[in-house]
Amino acid sequence: MDEMDVDKDLSFRRESTNNVLSFPNGNFRMKMAAGSFYIPRSDKAPLGEDAHFICGEEETIGVADGVGSWARKGIDPGEYSRQLVRNAELSIQKQKDQRNKIDPMEVLNEAYLNTKCQGSSTACILTLSCDTIHAANVGDSRFVVIRDGVIVYKSEIQQRGFNYPFQLGNGVELDDPSVAQEINATVRIGDVIVMATDGLFDNVRNHELEKLVHDGVGDLHKLETFSKMLAQKIAEYALQKSESKTVYTPYAEECSKAQIYRPGGKRDDITVIVAQILPR
């Protein structure tokens, strides 16, 4: 999550992961093929400011986006998001071992309490149980559910003002998990979930994301690495849009609403997780 100075030439390190998750659904089983792709923005902090995870057996995914303004104080903005994600994974494993069920709000709360470093971050955690998504979200990372090429659900962002999202962190003016949105939504076989940090959603419009997923399902659906490849395709499209100086992106639209003339995309870290719901 970056500030307004987004025009510097920066290098990128790309990372991808792929996992297959499965869970019971009534009298039959469904599986969720999940993969991710990450393009960090800053060459000053090679790991970038985003962090994410895919917990296969626990059927849980999540993203976190460190707040870039901490760099002005000499603090790596990505350290908080990375530690938050590591603590979330530990909480997920503990819940799995203790009761074989994941509560995203409990994960978020425990990860927050155990993250002691300076900094702050948005966070979005999602788990699947039977045919239902359970999610907890703080800030402007978010997810969509796409069905037959159309977005049927899009989580809301939380922000106090332009470019000022809710953010977890250790400090008087920062938030705790009590502000998180709790989300429940039903999914079907064939649905595609796209979870991402604002590096995607600031640069790519709904209809563009729908087309990317629709075309990707047609071109890649038979491949075992479908989710990872589609996540890469979406992330690289967002990167292309972010580098434009003229295209009218969602970020440019928000700037206009704030009485700021700022055409083009927004350079930022870009994390994308794609999960397709499939019959087992």
Domain boundaries defined on the chain? 30-279
CATH code of the region 30-279: 3.60.40.10
For 182, phi and psi rounded to 5 degrees?
A: -105, 130
pLDDT at residue 10 is higher than 50: no
> What pLDDT does 171 receive?
80
> What pLDDT does 27 receive?
34
How do residues 247-276 score in pLDDT, each as one tens digit?
999 999 999 999 999 999 999 999 999 998
- Tell me the pLDDT band of 217, cut-offs 50, 70 and 90: confident
- Straight-line distance from the first to the last Cα atom of the chain, in angstroms, rounded to the nearest whole number: 37
Mean predicted confidence (pLDDT) in 235-249: 95
> What pLDDT does 19 receive?
53
Greater confidence, 198 or 57?
Answer: 198
> What pLDDT does 99 receive?
87
> What pLDDT does 7 receive?
30
Mean predicted confidence (pLDDT) in 273-280: 86
d(CA 64, CA 57): 20
- Tell me the pLDDT band of 224, cut-offs 50, 70 and 90: low
pLDDT at residue 24 is higher than 70: no
pLDDT at residue 18 is higher than 70: no
pLDDT at residue 165 is higher than 60: yes
- Return the CA Rg of the chain: 18
